[in-house]
Structure 1
């Protein structure tokens, strides 16, 4: 929209204001002055909505101008997704499910149709994050600025930038719908099956190809990496409109910094029991817990005395019915924290103290 359209109301208001001042100087009648002031106030109120729309739109345009050059399209052999330029050396952060099992990629920036080549630095499926690096960083490559996840609030206006359905440099708008969501990805359609804590929920449209792009606030800072849209089981597992999730910026920075520095994730910050498990059902075919299939030597479960064949039914004060519910509960804990595990062995229920390990 042409910003010049909104300058006329300001000019009218300013002209009326000047006329009011001149009238006040040349007339002694307070009633006439009051009428002029009322007219000026009415003109100002009439111009205010136009100014508000103008300011909001200009804010959107500035954010898009600032951030979109830092959002790229990533083409693997079979998958298409998005990424965010992490630094001037050519590191790009994206989702692990975007890179899949590939190690080389074609990258297109918003400012050029030229195809760049990149290689995988490290993929961390447990958090659905990965870093790739351009073989040759082009001149003027612009790194995105990442925000503070602690300052993200429900109701904030956000823009999602990426390449939905291959439509590069697309932008959608919404709000932050919720924070602190723990979400488990489906393994369908190439998902990693990761359980990710502290996700940002947004109403901005998240479609295939948006994964790995940028969820941006009106300060022009990336507050999350869009990762998945909710599905609606009652509608044939189709996408649930207006419910998408993004990995928070704090998690992205923690993981990406380690990968850039060390070439891998050295400290996950994710709690673990140190078991391989599977969901079991009771005699009524209802989910009833997680059977321990294997215990990692020296892990938290091993130190607590858990054995293969035990069925975990509670972690702390939370009932555990499936392997997903166990993963979600562990996602809210930290390595080194102490909790309890309730389990059954040979029909007897037992409870032990456990110091959680690191995944």
Structure 2
């Protein structure tokens, strides 16, 4: 499965634009002086007993969450973001901020644009943090939940600015958890391979990138980032299949950026190489060819050389750079595993201790 990121171009919205295939959604919730951490301040709601109760719960969560969702203008593109703390930090996608350093942010409480600046971007996880120059009074941070408690079938709401339509809400369910998805590098994407993503049926459209996926208890369970694309639809978005970066990873990255100015402990495994996809005589992907080997890195220590073609990492087949990234995403720094490779027409194996990206 492939997936594509998306941010909406800054343009007028037409009905025909709704046929666009792209990505993402948003949402959040929390008291006025809260940080992005999950606390008892957001008490899980009781399960609705009727349609009226369910509608009332929707209205309650939307009323509490939308003030934490912002619209971000980055150059000519529009995306969404989630207020992370009362100091004016906002978490969003790296592909929303792109190469920009300054942004115009519109909050739900005040339609006048506010200026924000980039704190740091971490494209490897497609996350970034920006900060408002002058945080307005009453800024409401979101409460981020525990991704480990997300369950398939759980009702979720996606909130953001699809196609520039700010403060929009859609609903769906959690369709799956633990997905590893590779983001395209075209169309503004970062090319990241992201593990443990939350799959949702909530509608995701361009401009929702960087917003929030919210449970009925008002906690953010993820940052919607990708929509699946279907080759049979000409590469268009596959309806009802979107992906969100899990809230726990969002908190890990955002907390490091705010405290250190950058990510210092990614938790992402690496081999210490650059590689390219090679094909067989039928032009089918057949492995990841090593282009360069980082001196002193894991691959160098295992004896891998430029020209080697990696065909397996542990028990996972490697047919391309993407599948190698997905195999690494399933590992952890410090993990010991086996690399299977081709060299001069012969197969070899090497034991490697994974490093950190």
Count how many residue pairs are aligned between Structure 1 and Structure 2: 310
Q: Distance in 2 between matches of 1:127 and 1:245?
A: 13
Note if 1:125 corresponds to 2:106. no
Over residues 288-314 of structure 1, what are the superposed CA-to-partner deviations in whole Å (9 max), with x where a residue is unaligned?
Answer: 111100000111000000000111111
Q: Distance in 2 between matches of 1:113 and 1:294?
A: 50
The 5 A counterparts of 1:74-85 are: 74-85=72-83
Note if 1:279 corresponds to 2:277. yes
Distance 1:266 1:51 in 2: 46
**How far apart are the structure 2 equivalents of 1:207 and 1:148?**
25
Q: Output the CA distance in 2 between the equivalents of 1:239 and 1:188.
A: 15
1:58-107 Cα offsets, whole Å, 9 max, x none, are 10011001111000000011110000000000000000000000000000
1:103 — aligned with what? Answer: 101
Partner Cα distance (2:49, 2:124) in 1: 47
Query: SS of the counterpart of 1:225?
Result: strand
Q: Report the counterpart of residue 308 of structure 1 in structure 2.
A: 306
Cα deviation 1:17-64 (Å, max 9, x = unaligned): xxxxxxxxxxxxxxxxxxxxxxxxxxxxxxxxx971211111001100
Root-mean-square deviation (Å): 1.0
1: CA distance between counterparts of 2:283 and 2:114? 53
Partner residue in 1 for 2:259: 261
User: What is aligned with 1:328?
Assistant: 326
1: CA distance between counterparts of 2:213 and 2:126?
16
Deviations 1:208-234 (A, max 9, x none): 000000100000000000101111111
- TM-score normalised by length of structure 1: 0.85
More displaced stretch, 311-320 vs 194-203: 311-320
Q: Distance in 2 between matches of 1:204 and 1:139?
A: 32
Q: What's 1:112 paired with?
A: 110
User: Aligned residue for 1:213?
Assistant: 211
Higher relative contact order (CA 8 A, sep 6+): 2
Query: Which residue of 238, 241, 245 corresponds with 1:240?
Result: 238
Partners of 2:255 and 2:143 lie apart in 1 by 14
Mapped to 1, the partners of 2:166 and 2:65 lie a distance apart of 14
Question: SS in structure 2 opposite 1:64?
Answer: helix
CA distance, structure 1, for counterparts of residue 294 and residue 95 of structure 2: 26
Residue 27 of structure 2 aligns with which residue?
none
Distance apart, 1:344 and its partner CA: 1.1
Q: Distance in 2 between matches of 1:302 and 1:60?
A: 54
TM-score scaled by structure 2? Answer: 0.86
**1:168 maps to which of 166, 169, 173:** 166
What is the correspondence of 1:168-207 to structure 2 with a 5 Å cutoff? 168-207=166-205
Structure number with higher helix proportion: 1
Q: Which of 152, 167, 170 is the equivalent residue of 1:154?
A: 152
Secondary structure of 2:187's counterpart equals helix
Aligned partner of 1:90 among 88, 91, 97: 88
Separation of aligned partners in 1, 2:186 and 2:200: 22
For 1:227 and 1:190, the matched residues in 2 are separated by: 12
Q: Higher mean Cα deviation, 279-288 or 262-271?
A: 279-288
Name the residue aligned to 1:319.
317
